[in-house]
Structure 1
Amino acid sequence: MLPTQDEPRRQVMMIDSKSFYASCESIARGLNPLQAMLVVISQAENTNGGLVLASSPKAKQELGITNVMRKRDIPKDDRLIMVEPRMNYYIAMNKKVNDIFREFVAEEDLQLYSIDESLLDVTSSFEYLKSIYGHDLTMPKLARIIQLEVKQKLGLYLTVGIGDNPTMAKLALDLEAKHNHSLIGEWHYETVPQKLWPINELSKVWSIGKRTAKTLNRMGIVTMGDLARANPYQLQEKLGVRGSDLFALAWGVDRSIVSEHYRPQETNISNSQVLPRDYGNELEIKNVIREIGEQVASRLRKQHKATQVVSLSVGAALTEENKGFSAQVKIEPTNQSKLIVQALWSLFDQHYEGQMIRHIGVSVGKLSEDVGSQLDLFVPADQDAKQQTIDATIDDIRKKYGLDAIVKSSSKIAGGTMLDRVGLVGGHNGGNAYG
């Protein structure tokens, strides 16, 4: 008898759109996503000639193409179609997929996990669905109905993990469904010992990274069964709260409910950027810092927030021994672009040691409601008000006409990257929202 026999059970699905980006591009070209030889490859400058974002199942199987493979390493094949990403198109397709899911669950029982994965808790709607699809309806049958609905309407293939809770559904998706001909996997507390515990590549299990896997291995834990049989107090002593979470994972325990999923309040706002080349000129580096700082300040104003802590992280090029720095400074509460950029430049001047730079990140924290800037005794009140008006005017113009509607001249010279990034979504080409 398992100690989990009294754990609450729900009817949960984790659904993944198979090879989503590549499938969307295949469908747009009238091709079968499972038969097409296609890769989606980013041509952004910072990918050094191109980087694979997604590949069709056939391209993976026959040519061994994997995500993040460099363009130069892709095998030559006349059948292979290479396309640039169109993030707006994928977002539009994702919305269509989830609109179909909404036919089976209420809005509160649907959680968008990522652009290609969604959680559905059908516990509340299952009896209603039985009245539509028959009283012999089971979770695997329902999964098949959803698969066919999306295939017929959109052309996409879905992989479905079924479980007694969200974690178990995710494990069923990753560890079983993706390898089944039906693309459906079903796990319950009773099947965890036979399906989860034999796994000895811990890093392949959702939420266990390579570093955590190595730590567990050093503790003598080499299989998920070992983890389930480990002393939970020793795990917590060694790994903190993470140890308790891992012990629960090994037993498939997850008491969260999709309709009650927690949306953490944003405690900081950040932007970061991998530069298109190595930067060694201080003027160019500070120009990019200004651009990112102004973007973060604009986001603060949009949320009616002010910041009291400004952070700058600078990552060096691979050829540098000095790998860069991270630093922060407290300031008076503000969301003015000029003041935030001045704080960032001050941090840069204090810590930069002349190395070539490839990554810049800006973060603001200790956020509070924007109730107006505290006056600086050394800055005239009318000058402070003028700066706030300038920021608000720039925000309004860019909101109405686009980010490139008003651009500082320095963004056109001295290493500026803002213009090159206009239209990017998630760092990639936004493209067209339609096929």
Structure 2
Amino acid sequence: MNSNKIYLAIDLKSFYASTECIALGLDPLNTNLVVADESRTNKTICLAVSPALKSFGVPSRPRLFEVEQKIKSLNLAKQKQLHTRLPRSSIYKNELFKNKFLKVDYLVVPPRMHFYLEMSTKIYQIYLRFVSQDDIHVYSIDEVFIDLTSYLKTYGVNAHTLTKKILTTIMQETGITATAGIGENLYLAKVAMDIVAKKIKADKDGVRIAHLTVASYRKYLWAHEPITDFWRVGRGYAKRLAKLGLNTMGDIAACSLGTLSDKYNEELLYKNFGVNAELLIDHAWGKETTTLTDIKNYRPKHNSLGSGQVLMHPYTFMEAKLIVREMSEALVLELLRKKLVTNQIMLTISYDIKSLTFCSYTGPTTIDFYGREVPKHGHGTTNFKKMTASDDLITPSVLKLYAQITNPRLLIRKITITASNIMSKKAAATLQYSEQLDLFSKPNDSPQLNQDVDREERKQQVILALKERYGQRAIFKASDLKKEATALQRGNQIGGHKA
């Protein structure tokens, strides 16, 4: 690890909700607002909650009904305490704190992903005024990592001063507030932002900037709980660690020091986490060897392209078959658009919890993200002899795979499809193939077969061109008009949400 490096992590605070508040001429720090698509029922997940509404105990990513329940509970408690009904309400935090006879209220606005991308791009342009794009890694739409090392001498300032200048510029020009973490490696910068900055008091300009060194990390965060607050430690890891009696980063660090004769030692971690134990141990000690340059230069050995879809309600086998076809056809168009080919498609079918009761299911089960018991998902792959992006080859194979791996009696809630081993069409053209021939089958490189593939690809290219020029609804199949179809709706979405 290079201790001379200085990294910065920036998180745009409640980005979607703040962007919506600003668009409405409202202060995100004073306005109760959630970004959620009410048309999906109140079980939909809220994309964001404004900082003001969070101050009333609403979590960051609740379902809409959880927001409704929380606010209803707050207002009932208020009425009980004041012994009177509260006829008036307010969405403004300052008014609610001044007047205890006001009910807590909030706005619900639908997501506008294209609008958020525009705001994110505008903020990225602000970063470029201070640093080169070579020293920026965009982690998500609202988070970035920046290598500040070479700029401190250039500007003649310390990391805190330069960071504050960047954050105040964002605030002045967009109205978006941000938190930041500074560290001598990427991990410490991220943890400083995620854990420390979000809990410290803002300065007079509303800025929160936290610093971490390896020493301060070990001093202040080794005993921090829950361990899921730390980068790359999810609920699954936390449960496995808890079973071992490890609940903090300090516990993991201490475990790694044990000898083979001790109950806790490094081998225990490698036995339970495999090669991932190395990163877990490094992070427990506040170490991170990966640099921003490493991230920029990284090229995965095995590429993939895919998408997943959580259905609005449980689908039957036949209803979900239509969605699988739509997703397969969309994947083919995406391969063509990016001039890619594949030789393997993976399909995963996840079942709805209602399958356990309504379908009298008694087969193997698993635990989902919410801790509920559900039927074990169906998963399989279909392989092709040659690299391809042909819909005539891919979609029939995917539908055949769907029939093989799916229990037709169960209700389906999520579908994931992935093209594996993808490469550019140009690179695939250099590959050499061999195959076993018989007297009755066409070889894969026969003139007739190649003509069929070329003709089909030209047809797909025309469809792609029409959609790109005139929109996703420019051309579609009659089956896309069925009530259970989702292709037309998803064509107007970005990341599964309204564009």
Both structures adopt the same fold (TM-score exceeding 0.5):
yes
Distance 1:347 1:180, change over 3 A: same
Determine the C-alpha separation between the residues in 2 that align with 1:300 and 1:102: 32
Deviation at 1:380, TM superposition (A): 5.2
Distance 1:90 1:414, change over 3 A: closer
Q: AA paired with 2:113?
A: M
1:37 to 26, 32, 35: 32
2:140 to 87, 95, 114: 114
Distance 1:381 1:110, change over 3 A: closer
Determine the C-alpha separation between the residues in 1 that align with 2:225 and 2:293: 33
1:312 to 347, 370, 373: 347
| 8 A Cα contact 2:10 2:145, kept in partner | yes
Partner of 2:314: 278
Distance 1:151 1:73, change over 3 A: closer
Partner of 2:338: 303
| 8 A Cα contact 2:152 2:162, kept in partner | no
Question: Could you tell me the TM-score, scaled by structure 1's length?
Answer: 0.89
Partner of 2:170: 150
Deviation at 1:8, TM superposition (A): 2.8
Partner of 1:264: 299
Deviation at 1:162, TM superposition (A): 0.7
Map 1:319-398; keep pairs closer than 5 Å: 319-321=354-356, 323=375, 324-333=377-386, 334-354=388-408, 355-370=410-425, 371=428, 375=444, 382-398=451-467
Distance 1:317 1:377, change over 3 A: farther
Partner of 1:134: none
Determine the C-alpha separation between the residues in 1 that align with 2:60 and 2:2: 39
Q: AA paired with 1:420?
A: Q
1:210 to 227, 231, 235: 235
Distance 1:380 1:67, change over 3 A: closer
Map 1:14-33; keep pairs closer than 5 Å: 14-33=9-28
Partner of 1:251: 285
| 8 A Cα contact 1:50 1:70, kept in partner | yes
Distance 1:121 1:368, change over 3 A: closer
1:98 matches 2:134 = no
Where relative contact order (Cα < 8 A, 6+ residues apart) is larger, the structure is 1
1:60 matches 2:54 = yes
2:478 to 409, 420, 427: 409
Higher-Rg member (1/2): 2
1:52-92 C-alpha deviation (Å, 9 max, x unpaired): 22111111112535422224642255421211111111111
Map 1:67-78; keep pairs closer than 5 Å: 67-71=61-65, 73-74=67-68, 75-76=71-72, 78=90
| 8 A Cα contact 1:52 1:71, kept in partner | no
Determine the C-alpha separation between the residues in 2 that align with 1:380 and 1:228: 60
Determine the C-alpha separation between the residues in 2 that align with 1:143 and 1:408: 52
SS of the residue corresponding to residue 36 of structure 2 reads strand
Deviation at 1:118, TM superposition (A): 0.8
Deviation at 1:285, TM superposition (A): 2.3
1:91-140 C-alpha deviation (Å, 9 max, x unpaired): 1111111211112211111111111111111101211111xxxxxx2222
Determine the C-alpha separation between the residues in 2 that align with 1:51 and 1:220: 33
- Residue range with higher mean Cα deviation, 164-173 or 63-72: 63-72
Q: AA paired with 2:393?
A: L
Determine the C-alpha separation between the residues in 2 that align with 1:58 and 1:234: 44
Determine the C-alpha separation between the residues in 2 that align with 1:20 and 1:105: 22
Distance 1:126 1:7, change over 3 A: closer
| 8 A Cα contact 1:7 1:253, kept in partner | no
SS of the residue corresponding to residue 381 of structure 2 reads strand
Determine the C-alpha separation between the residues in 2 that align with 1:65 and 1:381: 56
SS of the residue corresponding to residue 130 of structure 2 reads coil
Distance 1:103 1:382, change over 3 A: closer
Determine the C-alpha separation between the residues in 1 that align with 2:476 and 2:305: 22
Distance 1:379 1:286, change over 3 A: farther
| 8 A Cα contact 2:18 2:176, kept in partner | yes
Q: AA paired with 2:276?
A: R
Determine the C-alpha separation between the residues in 1 that align with 2:287 and 2:16: 32
Partner of 1:174: 194
Count of residues in Structure 1 that have an aligned counterpart in Structure 2: 417
CA RMSD in angstroms, aligned pairs only: 2.3
Determine the C-alpha separation between the residues in 2 that align with 1:188 and 1:389: 57
Deviation at 1:360, TM superposition (A): 1.5
Determine the C-alpha separation between the residues in 2 that align with 1:56 and 1:228: 36
Determine the C-alpha separation between the residues in 2 that align with 1:429 and 1:190: 45
1:20-62 C-alpha deviation (Å, 9 max, x unpaired): 11111111111222111111112353x5554322111111112
Can you give the 5+ residue segments of structure 1 that lack an aligned partner in the other structure? 1-5, 131-136, 431-435
1:201 matches 2:226 = yes
The share of aligned pairs that are identical, in percent, is: 28
